[in-house]
Amino acid sequence: MTEYKTERIDPAYEDSTLRINAAFGWQLIESQEVYNESTKVTGANVKSYGAFMQGFTGKDGKVDVKTHTDVTNYIAMRFGRDTLMPDYDEITALEKRFYEYTAVSEPKKPTKRTVIAAIGTIIIVISVILAIINGTAAEPWEIGVCVAFPLIFIPYTILGWTGYRRKLNRYNNSIDTAAAIMNRTINIIDGKE
């Protein structure tokens, strides 16, 4: 018995999709690229002189049409796999685990909070240095800001980077585990395991 599945993918991922599916015993049955471009009028800007002025100037104005083009481009790939192939249950279990591991997304660096903390700290340091040089006394609210800002944003930034490193390690481990799963599945299909 044969099972089927269809995937719609970006054309840039066609080769990798073929390799991944082949690793889990899927064979390409049909592939079709879909490309559609449609342009819509989103508005018009009419610049005219008005009916009264047209009679005197002989000019009828100008019309600017605004358009938006939508592009749909994907490849529809239909795959089939024999459910009676050797080690089918183990291969499908490994495939499920593979997709669970590849579903982990790469974390984003906490750059916004780092930039805010750095700029704020630099401004505070420069303000304190200028106050010392000019010999001016600080207001209580200024002292509060100079103390509170670093106490809040520097630990907040450190926690952000700590969390990022933890998530990055999890992401890298997921990618390594997914690759190991794929290699094991290829060995099973090739009869090496």
∠ CA(149), CA(153), CA(159), 5° rounding? Answer: 155
The rounded percent of the chain whose pLDDT value lies above 70 is: 88
92 and 157 share one domain: yes
31 and 103 share one domain: no
The rounded percent of the chain whose pLDDT value lies above 90 is: 40
Summarised one tens digit per residue, pLDDT across range 136-179 is 877 777 778 878 888 888 888 999 999 999 999 999 999 999 99
The mean pLDDT of the chain is 84
DSSP assignment of 141-179: HHHHHHHHHHHHHHHHHHHHHHHHHHHHHHHHHHHHHHH
Q: 146 lies in which domain range? A: 87-193
Summarised one tens digit per residue, pLDDT across range 52-85 is 545 444 455 565 667 777 878 889 999 999 999 8
100 and 180 share one domain: yes
Residue 50 in domain:
no
> Which pLDDT band holds residue 8 (cuts at 50, 70, 90)?
very high
CATH at residue 30: 3.30.70
∠ CA(79), CA(82), CA(83), 5° rounding? Answer: 120
When divided into structural domains, the chain yields a total of 2
Residue 113 in domain:
yes
DSSP assignment of 90-128: HHHHHHHHHHHHHTSPPPPP-HHHHHHHHHHHHHHHHHH
Per-residue confidence (pLDDT) for residue 57, from 0 to 100: 47
> Which pLDDT band holds residue 30 (cuts at 50, 70, 90)?
very high
144 and 190 share one domain: yes
Summarised one tens digit per residue, pLDDT across range 38-56 is 787 776 665 655 555 454 4
Compare 62 and 7 and report the one with higher pLDDT. 7
159 and 142 share one domain: yes
116 and 190 share one domain: yes
